[in-house]
């Protein structure tokens, strides 16, 4: 399982800072979703993408 947020992971296709949605670039105040590479999406984008990351096709899971 890859639910832990590891802040020192760099590189790869997915880079997100803070809680900013990768798709619509809005800052996320409510529920945030992220893939194992820490791409972060807001709830509405995550649902539109059917919980699949745009960058890596990984599954999006709720961030704690």
List interacting residues with Zn ion (CB under 5 A).
Answer: 14, 21, 23-24, 35, 37, 39, 42, 45, 53, 55-56, 58
Cα–Cα distance, 47 to 4 (Å, whole number): 21
Residues 6+ apart with CB under 8 A from 42: 21, 23, 24, 26, 28, 30, 31, 32, 33
Minimum Å distance from CB 25 to Zn ion? 7
Minimum Å distance from CB 45 to Zn ion? 3
Minimum Å distance from CB 53 to Zn ion? 3
Q: Which is nearer to Zn ion, 19 or 58 (CB)?
A: 58
């Amino acid at each position: 399982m890859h639910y832990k947020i590891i802040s020192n992971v760099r590189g790869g296709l997915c880079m997100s800072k803070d809680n900013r949605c990768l798709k619509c670039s809005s800052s996320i105040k409510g529920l945030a979703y992220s893939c194992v590479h820490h791409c972060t999406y807001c709830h509405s984008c995550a649902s539109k993408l059917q919980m699949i990351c745009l960058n890596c096709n990984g599954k999006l899971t709720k961030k704690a």
